[in-house]
Amino acid sequence: MKPRKTRNRHAVDRDEMRREYRFDYKKARPNRFAGRFRAGAVAVLLDPDVASVFGSSDTVNKLLRSVIAAMPERGRKRAKAG
């Protein structure tokens, strides 16, 4: 005799999301940080030790631009936006 397949009592219905994954869109708010980004800007996370050296994004951008200027021409590649 073949063993019968029994449904696991603890099996979750596949059509229903778990409670922790449900999102109440009525409580959603607009992104309060969206206005801080300029058009075409990319957010980059800096490690805390690196971030502690720079006071602002302008300082980081100034340093990165000087590094780019010091790079040889053929080593420069433009990243695609988006």
Residue 75 to residue 78: CA distance in whole angstroms: 10
CB neighbours (10 Å) of residue 17?
Answer: 11
pTM for the predicted model, two decimal places: 0.46
Q: Higher confidence at residue 58 or residue 73?
A: 58
Q: Which are the contacts of 40, defined by CB distance < 8 A and separation ≥ 6?
A: 81
pLDDT in tens, 52-69: 999 888 999 999 999 999
Band the pLDDT of 42: cuts 50, 70, 90. confident
What residues does each domain of the chain span? Answer: 42-75
